[in-house]
Amino acid sequence: MGRANPVPGLINPQVAYAPGLRGWTRLRMELIRRRLKGWRREVRLFLGKPLGLLGLASIGLFALFALGQPVLMATVWQDQIYDPELGYDIQIFLHPAAPSRTHLLGTDPLGRDVLSRLVYSTRTSFGVGLSAALVGSLLATTIGVSAAYFEGKLDTILMTLADAFILLPPAVVLLIVGLIFEMNGLQLGVIFGVFAGAGSLALLVKAQALSIKSKQFVEAGRVAGGGGWRLIRTHILPNLISLLSVNMMFIVTGSVLIEALMSFLHRTDLRTSWGMMIWLALEDNMSGFDLVDEWFVIVPPALAIMLFCGGFYLIGRTLDEVTNPRLRAR
């Protein structure tokens, strides 16, 4: 009697039910292969979106800035002139100075190279954005999945907590906290991540987790004897990756904008950031800032903020189009 053909879209029965360690290994390898195949398909869809490629190019440029600044300081730039915090060019009598061969973006009011500070500040933005995204995603996943799967009193408590965080906008909270004490980049990113993850994102994760929980394959796993944590780990969490990846991009954008605002208001202890560069230019030129003659002091950090946040926004929008079946069908 010949072997039955496997149902299209399902794992080959010979792979799925082979006994022993060898069968278990074959099953895991087949699952990994299928997951990688799905990811490759989504990557191809992503690369076919011009806006997504534009966002990747923007973030890639800033990544080169962050990685290349130490190399430039060690090989090309002199510490006494191009140090982002202590550098000063004694060859120039008046600062800020216009762009030149030695200072491609000019110098700021304290005589420091604008390009060096611009490139160095990229680290701050990446640090704030990534810390906020990681904290927000972990918190939203924990709250949303726990509320959706275990329900009952735990669901009530967690959703009440989420509603409270929704009523407290991160920007307002951080501004109030900033009036009490100055924060560093990590503290700012963590606080923003807590408010972003414990609020609206937790509700989105819960709704998605409830939808996944009602699927037949989750019920089949429960009937087969799978425990709660096993079902969450093997069925629910993998299907939340697309939702979390999209929202991580938007959390990065929001946290970087808040950091720039807080630094501009001088409510952080960051000595070098894009917001601080704008604040310093206006502070030292408050009596008469000339945008025409001194554009190089403000325009570069302002453009950096827009391009950096815009890059992550474009990536998030493109990921949403690629991973959302409704948007993909349009």
All domains of the chain in start order, with CATH: 48-328 (1.10.3720.10)
Residue 113 CA to residue 96 CA, distance in Å, equals 9
pTM for the structure as a whole? 0.80
Q: What are phi and psi of 77, to 5 degrees?
A: -85, 140
- Least confident segment among 55-59, 157-161, 183-187, 323-327: 323-327
Give, in order, the Cα–Cα distances in Å from 69 to each of 127, 205, 272, 303, 314: 15, 38, 14, 19, 25
Least confident of 123-127, 159-163, 194-198, 263-267: 263-267
Q: What is the pLDDT of residues 63-113, one digit of tens each?
A: 999 999 899 998 989 889 999 988 888 888 888 888 888 899 988 888 899
Confidence of residue 308 (pLDDT cuts 50, 70, 90): very high
Question: How far is residue 113 from each of residues 88, 108, 120, measured CA to CA in Å?
Answer: 8, 7, 11
Range of lowest pLDDT (126-130, 160-164, 232-236, 259-263): 232-236
Average pLDDT value for residue range 32-56: 79
pLDDT of residue 117: 92
What is 218-245 written as a DSSP string?
A: HHHHHHTT--HHHHIIIIIGGGGHHHHH
Percent share of the chain, pLDDT over 90: 26
